[in-house]
Amino acid sequence: MDPRALVTRRRAMVATLLATVLPFVAAAQPAAQETFEPRVGQAGKDVIWVPTPNGLIDRMLRMANAGPSDKLVDLGSGDGRIAIAAVRDFKVASATGIEYNPAMVTLSNRNATEQGVAPRAKFIEGDIFATDFSDATIVTMYLLPSLNLRLRPTILNMKPGTRVVSHAFTMEEWRPDDRAEVEGQNAYFWIVPARVAGTWRVQAGAETVELKLTQSFQDFRGTAAPMNATVQGSLKGDEIRLTLPDGRGGQRELVGKVAGEQMSGKLGADNFTATRIAQPAP
């Protein structure tokens, strides 16, 4: 056959095929999106979808003290209601939902647009175990106990002071700093503690104190030399407080901020600075 005739015949075949298939493709796409209705209990990658009730969301975001300087991430964001409420009702700077199910991501982004909070509330398709959310100042989640435990090391590595709220499930031996109940449903709240284990040399004017501390999540204990005292307390993010003998039969408070290997603050009426001079034994 004449090659030009062959090309013409092939083109005609492709055109016929496209004419047959395209109307179905075009019709199928919007229909699939418009008819998507999430079902409570529908399968998810690691956990099914069950939405957090709005009353509890409000309580969770209050407990986290959410506000305009916050960047919130909701891990497994479902229909987007937590991130949307964070921007709409608490005016957080940004709220991102990470959700594995692409249909839920589309639905959430549409909900955010309808409620006038896009793009400050936005939703991305992803796996919470493979997505970096380390810049968030508030983490919310409604997952499962085993998933909270898998996330725990990642969360403990976040910036001290990061706030975490979990609907229903705890972090096992990382005791919550606060909790709330709304209509029989529980939420738990934690503040990521600074790391203070090790030996610190504290300098306050002419006085030098050596603190040897061990740490379990937000709780620490140890000894202070040269006064040979035991110390203990709980961190609130990067804030440390402990009581020390003053050498005259009384006591004074050390109140400081931890920044990596340094601390600074007040020891009684004096300013102090401190440096970690030895890491904890492994």
Ligand X SMILES: C[S@@+](CC[C@H](N)C(=O)[O-])C[C@H]1O[C@@H](n2cnc3c(N)ncnc32)[C@H](O)[C@@H]1O
CB of 9 to ligand X, least distance (A): 49
Using the minimum distance from each CB to ligand X, give the nearer residue, 118 or 141: 141
Using the minimum distance from each CB to ligand X, give the nearer residue, 64 or 104: 104
Query: Judging by DSSP bridges, how do beta strands 138-141 and 163-167 pair with one another?
Result: parallel
CB of 52 to ligand X, least distance (A): 3
Using the minimum distance from each CB to ligand X, give the nearer residue, 122 or 276: 122
Using the minimum distance from each CB to ligand X, give the nearer residue, 85 or 209: 85
CB of 237 to ligand X, least distance (A): 24
CB of 46 to ligand X, least distance (A): 4
The contact set with ligand X (CB under 6 A) reads 44-47, 49-52, 74, 76-78, 81-82, 98-101, 104, 127-129, 142, 167
Contact in structure between 83 and 71 (CB atoms under 8 Å): no
Using the minimum distance from each CB to ligand X, give the nearer residue, 114 or 246: 114
Residue 173 in tokens: 């031996």
Surface-to-core class of residue 184, CB atoms within 10 Å of its CB (0-12 exposed, 13-18 middle, 19+ buried): exposed
CB of 67 to ligand X, least distance (A): 20
CB of 11 to ligand X, least distance (A): 45
Using the minimum distance from each CB to ligand X, give the nearer residue, 81 or 120: 81
**What does each C-alpha distance from 134 to 63, 137, 182, 205 come to in angstroms?**
20, 8, 29, 38
Residue nearest to ligand X (CB): 76
Using the minimum distance from each CB to ligand X, give the nearer residue, 2 or 37: 37
